[in-house]
Structure 1
Amino acid sequence: MQNEAREIPARSSDQFSRFLGGSPLAVVLKLVLMSVLVGVVLAAIGLDPWNIVESLRRLADWIWNLGFDALNGLWRYFILGAVIVIPLWLLSRLFGANRMR
């Protein structure tokens, strides 16, 4: 049994990278990029990062004042976003299921 393979204990940096989902630098860069993109979207709808509660209240008032046109607009944005988000989610679940086995 000399050819028996032994498991090498994982280094703490490997465990940390696995926890993050990649190398720390790559994860930080992805998070920065996603934060900027989400920030642009939130700024486009009028949210202020320094007073987010008040900004959300103003957004809710704006949507309420628009009436049913807001629902139509939200529905269109939902469909537009779902065209991208749902297939990406489905693919991630399908490919993620293969990794779990």
Structure 2
Amino acid sequence: MSEFTRFLGDTPLRIFLKLLVVSFLVGIVMSYFGWSPYDVFYQIRDFVLQLWNMGFKAIDRFVGYFLLGAAVVVPVFVVLRLLSYRR
């Protein structure tokens, strides 16, 4: 078995025929749904961007909660430290 055949996993002719059949079937499905390769690319891109933005929205929400809590906790801490320092 040659390196090329081992890399492909089968003989080149059989791989070519498999790819031909699968490409034809995928083409039929994409045509049925009215998709183009650009549509698939843009859908993947939009999905990744939405995940990216959701991640930063979660971080933004966390930082917002942190700052909201710190606006109360830090002054109370400072006041309590000042009151305990006098004693």
Normalized per residue, the structure richer in helix is 2
Normalising TM by the smaller chain, what interval? 0.3 to 0.5
Could you state the TM-score of these two structures normalised by the residue count of structure 1?
Answer: 0.36
Could you state the TM-score of these two structures normalised by the residue count of structure 2?
Answer: 0.41
- Higher Cα Rg, which structure: 2
